[in-house]
Amino acid sequence: MARDMIFAFFLGCLMPNRYPQIEKATKFVMEKLGYEILEMEKAACCPAPGVFRSFNKGDWMVHAARNLCIAEKMDADILTVCNGCFGTLQEVNKHLKEDENLREQVNEKLKLLGDYEFKGTIEVRHMTEVLGWDIGSWGIEDHIVRKVDLRASIHYGCHFLKPTTIRELDSSEKPTIIEDFIEVLGVEAVPFNEQLTCCGAGGGVKAYDGNASMKIFGEKMKNIDEVKPDIILDICPFCHLQFETGQDYLNKNKGCNYDYPVIHIAQLTAYCLGMDAESLGLQYQLMGKTFDFGAKVIKDKEAA
């Protein structure tokens, strides 16, 4: 059992490089909620669950185990805000805890990388899971300083819930963890057709076959556009990237005219907990640059 109320923050690759605002928002939220957030020194790529695992499962595990070992030494559970990082780290952590043979093989290889040994003392947590279940809609209410009035199309992404036998979090067919949480923030979840399908980014699709990726994404946007939400809410920087650059691509190449702001759950929660709008960094994003949360503020205790 790792220490309570302390997280080793696993940054991953996309967030610190392309969406530092999500990183900032995450730290803001977690600290507001009373958690201590620690940096993970020498943490590397998670590595991505789709591509790396498909090519070499063994080395994928060793690499992930190295990251887990860093957090074990810090005696802190890992916090991630990315479905890909969560997918890899949670799965490897579970496998290595349960399978002694696998653990021995991985530890043997870890020695080559330095002073690392997987012991199985920590958990891997996604921020959404911490918000939805540890804090909960009942617990966040005390911390809210602003309540918004928004309609959001939620995108869960793939690795957060699937495979259900490994994640053991929520139904992958009718999940409610995000819906239940954001309702308290004043966000109404607007369901849309084929809501739980892939965004088209993961599994190496975006890098390998851009056209296929955009075809999948185009379907997704068509379905979202039917219900005309105020924002698209995601929980993963890679989905975030897809929704951002994808809308831009469709506008430029397919004659679309989308401008749906893409908001990560950390950004939304941070705003409701009092972070100033500028720090949310929408002005640096491709879509909804001028989207104003503030105009829809209906409750303002005191900006923290």
Adjacent-strand bridge partners of 231? 152
Which of 17, 54, 193, 283 contacts other proteins by CB under 8 A?
A: 193
Choice between 118 and 192, CB closer to other proteins: 192
Residues whose CB is less than 8 angstroms from the CB of residue 205 and which lie 6 or more positions away in sequence, other chains included: 198, 212, 213, 216
Q: Which is nearer to other proteins, 54 or 171 (CB)?
A: 171
In a 3-state reduction of DSSP, which class is residue 267?
Answer: helix
Q: How far is CA 51 from CA 85, 108, 206, in A?
A: 13, 24, 11
Which residue from 17, 54, 171, 176 is in contact with other proteins, where contact means CB under 8 A?
Answer: 171
Report the residue from 36, 194, 209, 292 that binds other proteins according to the rule CB under 8 A: 194
212 binds other proteins (CB under 8 A): no
* Candidate ranges 84-92, 95-103, 130-138, 189-197; the one touching other proteins (CB under 8 A): 189-197
CA distance 5 to 77: 9
| Selected range binding other proteins among 104-112, 193-201, 248-256, 278-286, rule: CB under 8 A | 193-201
Give the interface segment with other proteins, choosing from 3-11, 137-145, 192-200, 272-280 (CB under 8 A): 192-200
CB of 193 to other proteins, least distance (A): 6
Tell me which of 192, 217, 243, 260 binds other proteins, using CB under 8 A: 192
User: Which of 20, 58, 120, 191 lies at the binding interface for other proteins (CB under 8 A)?
Assistant: 191
> Sign of dihedral through CA atoms 23, 5, 42, 241?
negative
Minimum distance of other proteins from residue 225's CB (angstroms): 12
Scored b (16 or more CB within 10 A) or e, 119-133 reads eebbbbbbbbbbbbe
Binding-site member from 34, 41, 115, 174 for other proteins (CB under 8 A) = 174
Site string for other proteins, 216-255 (x = CB under 8 A): ----------xx----------------------------
What six digits make up the tokens of 279?
A: 């720090």
Question: Under the criterion CB under 8 A, does residue 173 sit at the interface with other proteins?
Answer: yes
Q: How far is the CB of 178 from other proteins (least distance, A)?
A: 16
Toward other proteins, which CB reaches closer, 172 or 251? Answer: 172
Cα–Cα distance list, 37 to 24, 31, 76, 80, 171 (Å): 11, 7, 9, 11, 29
Cα Rg of the chain (Å, integer): 19
Size, binding site for other proteins by CB under 8 A:
12
Q: Residue 246 is which amino acid?
A: G
User: What is the C-alpha to C-alpha distance for residues 254 and 276, in angstroms, rounded to an integer?
Assistant: 35
- Which one-letter amino acid corresponds to residue 84? G
Interface residue list for other proteins (CB under 8 A): 171-174, 190-195, 226-227
